[in-house]
């Protein structure tokens, strides 16, 4: 691999990543960069996971809107409920708790979808740092990662997560959730414009689905668009 002509070369630190497998401590040594490499971010494709979170949150928000809850409030309630299912430790208000009970079956279904998406992202994350940072592992694949023992997967993923957030300011659980609410709000449909005063145009305006972010609120995030929610399929008036 060609090297840059550094005047002052960066100091390469390393970190031992240890997992206990069948009673034995197994150790890998990873270079520490304090961030993820671009090629790692490309492989991880975190936007695919974020797209699933946004899609499934919209499903719950749609159900709440169907009950007469205002759009913005429905988004907030949906994200806060989903956040608790993702392991983010926040307390739910009585209104949110009642909504969670009313829609228990839907929440269980969308939680499975989010968990499946997270499992795929976790697999890709581990593959990315192994292929990029361990000598002799440049051809490492997701299939190779899937054969590793779970303790090794946990240890390497924890290392990758630390690298991703190394230079980010710490956030409280409530701050994380507020960022998720803001992101989902960007995909909400614009309010219907006032009816035109002139002659009406021929044909209905085509509905356009939400544009997915090129990167998630916390880092990178499918080229494949998620199934848009019914709110995003509304055709604009006039």
Question: Residue 48 falls within a domain, yes or no?
Answer: yes
Which residues of the chain fall short of a pLDDT of 70? 1, 187-238
d(CA 110, CA 131): 32
Around 91, how many Cα atoms within 13 Å sit in the side-chain half-sphere? Answer: 2
d(CA 185, CA 173): 19
The pLDDT score that the predictor gives to residue 199 is 40
Question: Residue 93 falls within a domain, yes or no?
Answer: yes
Question: Residue 67 falls within a domain, yes or no?
Answer: yes
d(CA 236, CA 167): 42
* pTM metric for this prediction: 0.74
Question: Residue 154 falls within a domain, yes or no?
Answer: yes
The pLDDT score that the predictor gives to residue 188 is 54
The pLDDT score that the predictor gives to residue 9 is 87
Question: Residue 156 falls within a domain, yes or no?
Answer: yes
Domain around 126 = 13-185
At 112-155, the pLDDT tens digits run 999 999 999 999 999 999 999 999 999 999 999 999 999 999 99
Question: Residue 1 falls within a domain, yes or no?
Answer: no
Question: Residue 198 falls within a domain, yes or no?
Answer: no
Mean residue pLDDT of the chain comes to 82
Q: What is the total count of domains within the chain?
A: 1
Question: Residue 2 falls within a domain, yes or no?
Answer: no
């Amino acid at each position: 691999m060609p090297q840059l002509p550094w005047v002052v070369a960066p100091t390469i630190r390393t970190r031992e990543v240890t997992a206990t497998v069948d009673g034995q401590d197994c150790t890998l040594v990873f270079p520490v960069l304090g961030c993820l490499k671009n090629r790692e971010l490309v492989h991880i494709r975190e936007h695919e996971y974020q797209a699933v979170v946004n899609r499934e949150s919209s499903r719950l928000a749609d159900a709440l809107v169907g009950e007469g809850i205002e759009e913005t409030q429905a988004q907030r309630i949906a994200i806060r409920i989903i956040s608790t299912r993702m392991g983010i430790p926040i307390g739910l208000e009585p209104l949110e708790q009642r909504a969670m009970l009313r829609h228990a079956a839907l929440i269980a279904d969308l939680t499975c979808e989010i968990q499946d998406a997270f499992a795929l992202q976790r697999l890709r994350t581990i593959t990315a740092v192994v292929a990029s940072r361990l000598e002799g592992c440049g051809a490492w694949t997701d299939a190779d990662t899937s054969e590793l023992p779970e303790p090794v997967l946990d240890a390497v993923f924890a290392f990758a997560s630390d690298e991703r957030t190394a230079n980010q300011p710490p956030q409280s659980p409530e701050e994380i959730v507020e960022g998720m609410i803001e992101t989902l709000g960007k995909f909400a449909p614009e309010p219907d414009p006032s009816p035109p005063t002139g002659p009406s145009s021929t044909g209905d305006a085509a509905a356009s689905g939400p544009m997915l972010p090129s990167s998630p609120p916390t880092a990178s995030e499918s080229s494949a668009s998620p199934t848009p929610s019914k709110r995003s399929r509304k055709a604009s008036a006039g």
